[in-house]
Amino acid sequence: MNKKLSFLLLAQFLSAFADNAILFTVIAIVMQSNELAPWYVPALQSMFLIAFIIFAPWVGAFADYYAKSKILLLANLIKASGAILLLLNIEPLIAYALVGVGAALYSPAKYGILPELVSHQQLVKANSLIEGSTILAILLGMVIGAQVADYSISIALSSIVGLFIISALISLFLPVNRSSQTIHSGTIKHFYRHLCDFLSSPRARFAVLGGSLFWLAAATLRVILIAWAPLILLSKNASEIAELTLFLAIGIIIGSALVPRLISLENIRQARIPALVMSIFIVLLSFTNTLWEARAVLLAIGCAGGMFIVPINAALQAIGYKSIGSGSAVALQNFLQNVAMMIGVGCYTYASAIEIKPEITMLSLGLFIFVCTLIISLLLPPALQKATDE
């Protein structure tokens, strides 16, 4: 691991830690208020996701035209501004939406800078390090952030502002490169053309649609667990449900660490195998009725998911770096992923409203992922060009 990648990992860890700490701080604010309706927390999540969709046509081009290290700095400062608004008791929906804008700007630069830091052969390994450190930051940010917020909202928010600023300063040690010399004025039309061009490539189509499918599954499974665990496993509180999510996250870390030895960019087609395995284990989870069985299956789901998403991300960056720009490619991915997440969670919300049992929705989710993976895989020709030739 080179020194520049180490700086990126540290900056990403601190930013992801703060991202999740601020989420649970906002949830603590809502829970401590008796004036906010039950729909408020889902509304907060939606405000965060919407920024990825609305700003997708601009953030990718922005990340390619300007130095990605400078974008990382700016994005962290925007996130810090959102935390400061919360500290000043500004409406949480507005403040958290601003954090979402920073996150939407941050993501294309975070992934798009990787091809500038490592060689093509090391891209999958670099992605596994990014994914592993991000999951670790999510776990620690979730646990520590919630505990500090329960003790003091102001201390939690002040610490979060400090973490975002430190992450921004670390970005100054990253290289200052630009992958595009022009920024297009008709960005929405240009974004649509990039989307069509990108999906016309079999390898890129598999990467973009596969990544969207993964995050649809992850977001939907997370909300299903909240209803499924108390009903089937008799979980009594949020901590027990969070413990289940912990096994899922640990599995993703394991899968992210294993995948560089198993799947290369030139054999990206093989990523369909862990995707199919993940869907099968989701189906098995719907038939699980004991705690340890659930933990084991969630660990397996996470492991397969990690082995699927890491090479998918790496392929997307490699293709984008050689074509429309890695930042624009990641922005396309973010757009489709967040649309998919909102669709998945929306479908579950409707299913819940008409009183479909959570185990049935979980079974349906697993079957849906399995069928979609088969369809996407069948669209791939037997022999694929290398990512560098796309």
User: pLDDT tens digits, residue range 278-287?
Assistant: 889 999 988 9
Res 233: pLDDT = 79
DSSP state letter for 113: T
Residue 207's nearest CA partner among 321, 328, 329 is 329
Among candidates 165, 167, 157, 162, which has minimal Cα distance to 110? 167
The letter for the amino acid at 17 is F
Q: Is the pLDDT of residue 97 over 80?
A: yes
Mean pLDDT comparison of 4-13, 82-91, 350-359, highest-scoring range: 82-91
Average of per-residue pLDDT across 94-106: 90
Is 387's pLDDT higher than 50? no
pLDDT at 169: 93
Confidence grade of residue 9 (pLDDT, cut at 50, 70, 90): confident
Q: How far is residue 50 CA from its own chain's centroid?
A: 14
Among the residue ranges 100-109, 207-216, 289-298, 379-388, the one predicted with the least confidence is: 379-388
Q: Show the CA angle centred on residue 82, arms to residues 337 and 327, nearest 5°.
A: 40
Same fold flag, 3-173 and 194-389: yes
E strand or H helix at 49, and its extent?
Answer: helix 40-54
State percent of the chain over pLDDT 90: 13
The more confident residue out of 25 and 80 is: 80
Q: DSSP states of 24-45 as a string?
A: HHHHHHHHT-SSS-TTHHHHHH
Q: What is the pTM of this model?
A: 0.68
Give how far Cα 137 sits from Cα of 7, 78, 236, Å.
Answer: 15, 19, 26
The answer to which of 15-24, 33-42, 88-97, 367-376 has the lowest mean pLDDT is 33-42
Q: How far apart are CA 371 and CA 378, in angstroms?
A: 11
Q: What is the pLDDT of residue 386?
A: 44
d(CA 237, CA 224): 15
383 phi and psi angles, rounded to 5 deg: -115, 130
| Whether the Cβ atoms of residue 114 and residue 131 lie closer than 8 Å to each other | no
Tell me the pLDDT tens digit for each residue of 105-114. 887 787 777 7
pLDDT (tens digit, 9 = 90+) per residue, 291-317? 888 889 999 998 888 888 877 777 766
Domain 194-389: which topology?
A: Growth Hormone; Chain: A; (1.20.1250)
**How much is the pLDDT for 329?**
67
**Crossing angle, helix 202-228 and helix 187-199, to 10 degrees?**
100
Q: Where are the domains of the chain?
A: 3-173, 194-389
**What value does the mean pLDDT take over residues 52-59?**
77
Query: Which CATH code for domain 3-173?
Result: 1.20.1250.20
Average pLDDT over residues 345-349: 77
